[in-house]
A and B are shown apart, each in its own frame.
Chain A
């Protein structure tokens, strides 16, 4: 979904919801990746870097040239991590389930490619409407967030 709140606002509150607030890790993972820009940066990084991997490995193993591997890592992981930092102000918090999160990234990337992302997001929106205030400016946040925002004079 398109995030209408500010990066600073999302940075302050994205960690408000944790794994405990969701039915499963997949839903929590999607919550952290709802921002469309984050999704597209992940997609770009994976889509561009993967065809490069065999060449990068060949260069490293047989030519002792390591910059292609670094380029691959920079694209694959760099795009992912920097997308969170640039768009939501935090780096990924999926460490406890880092292994399974690979499959969710693959799942999401395939959905983006095939146009199945909207349906996936709609299911999330139906399931967890109370979390959307973080990304959607028009939705009211919980009372304590409103009070805190008034105190600090933060911009949504």
Chain B
């Protein structure tokens, strides 16, 4: 299980906020402040959960990048390219949109296939391999487009996204 290190005062602070809030709820002049402090505690608890989920997500992303290649470098390269070549800015932006969509679909398919892996079904395992192969192929394709300065999206990119979505079918 993922562990996040917080400063030693965080837990006592949150606990005392809950206790103070609960205590205030019993006394009339500060009753609503008590509810407010409890609400504040709930708000902070949601923050705790948000960070936990973000960290778990980040772990999944790191693992995916290890298998498919670091697509963040591609995102940065596209962004830099768009600003270095204002004449091609619109085409680059279209490619950026497709690129982001592709990686979102990749993560969705990856999650779907990883969940399904629990079932004894070798078809999913094969699809998982295809999923990573498609991602590597996309990375190479788009990197080559940027290197050659031909950033206008082509049919191959749209097909790549469709193929990725199709893996969940």
- Which of A23, A58, A110 is within 8 Å of B51, CB to CB? A110
Residues of B within 8 A of A19 (CB): 100
B40 and A110 within 8 A (CB): no
Which of B77-85, B119-127, B146-154 lies at the interface?
Answer: B77-85
Binary contact track B93-123/A, C-beta < 8 Å → 1, others 0: 1001100100110000000000000000000
Return B54 CB to nearest CB of chain A, in Å: 6
B76 and A54 within 8 A (CB): no
A113 and B44 within 8 A (CB): yes
A106 and B33 within 8 A (CB): no
Binary contact track B45-64/A, C-beta < 8 Å → 1, others 0: 01110110010000000000
- Which of A21, A110, A113, A142 is within 8 Å of B96, CB to CB? A21
**Interface size bracket, B side:** 35 or more
B7 and A115 within 8 A (CB): yes
A110 and B32 within 8 A (CB): no
- Which of A47, A58, A111, A130 is within 8 Å of B32, CB to CB? A58
Residues of A within 8 A of B96 (CB): 20-21
B37 interfacial contact with A, CB 8 Å: yes
Instruction: Considering the complex, give the chain B residue whose CB is closest to the CB of A18.
Output: B93
B50 and A110 within 8 A (CB): yes
A23 and B50 within 8 A (CB): no
Task: Please report which residues of chain A, range 96-146, place their CB below 8 angstroms from some CB of chain B when the two chains form the complex.
Answer: 103-104, 106-107, 109-111, 113-116, 127-128, 130-131, 142-145
Instruction: Considering the complex, give the chain A residue whose CB is closest to the CB of B58.
Output: A123
- Which of A17, A26, A50 is within 8 Å of B40, CB to CB? A50
Return B5 CB to nearest CB of chain A, in Å: 9
B3 interfacial contact with A, CB 8 Å: no
A55 and B50 within 8 A (CB): no
B binding-site residues for A, Cβ under 8 Å: 4, 6-7, 10, 32-33, 35-37, 39-40, 43-44, 46-48, 50-51, 54, 71-72, 75-76, 78-80, 82-84, 86, 93, 96-97, 100, 103-104
A binding-site residues for B, Cβ under 8 Å: 16-24, 26, 46-47, 50-55, 58, 103-104, 106-107, 109-111, 113-116, 127-128, 130-131, 142-145
27 contacts between A and B (CB under 8 A): A18-B93, A20-B79, A21-B82, A21-B96, A23-B72, A23-B100, A47-B40, A51-B33, A51-B39, A54-B36, A54-B39, A55-B33, A55-B35, A55-B36, A58-B32, A104-B50, A106-B50, A113-B44, A127-B72, A127-B76, A128-B76, A128-B79, A130-B76, A131-B79, A142-B80, A142-B84, A144-B83
